[in-house]
Homo-oligomer: A and B are copies of this chain.
Amino acid sequence: MIDEQKLQQTLRGFASDRDWEQFHSPRNLISALNVEAGELLELFQWESKNHIVDVNEPETRQKVEDEIADVFIYLLRIADKLDVSLENVAIAKMKKNAEKYPIDKSKGKAVKYTEL
């Protein structure tokens, strides 16, 4: 169980202590989310047949965890700012996805629902 509200409260305090609320508009937090998602991608960008990232190698694992954390932290902030429940919107979207991607039509296919 993730205590979303406690995490958000801590993050709110962190920003407020540093007088950073002025920078944390939804748009800016969403920009930061993109930047952090990019940093996570960077760790995997050159994966190739002969070059697989070993996510269990301790130093790599630490980097991966830190970047995942950064993405999650900004996502929590965005949800807090916009008064969105991450769990509720995920459940609602999963229902939509189940309709957009019926099992029989999408089985084994990596294509967009518009092309099924």
Footprint of B on A, CB under 8 Å?
1-4, 7, 10-11, 14, 17-20, 22-23, 25-28, 30-35, 37-42, 44-51, 53, 55, 64-66, 68-73, 75-76, 78-79, 82, 84, 86-87, 89-94, 96-98, 101, 103, 106-110
Contacts and interface: CB of A to CB of B under 8 A. Distances in A.
What are the 5 closest A-B residue pairs judged by CB atoms, nearest first?
Answer: A38-B38, A69-B93, A46-B110, A2-B2, A69-B89
Number of copies: 4
Main secondary structure on A side of the interface with B: helix
B69 A79 contact: no
Contact of A2 (B1, B11, B107, B110): B1
Nearest to A42: B35
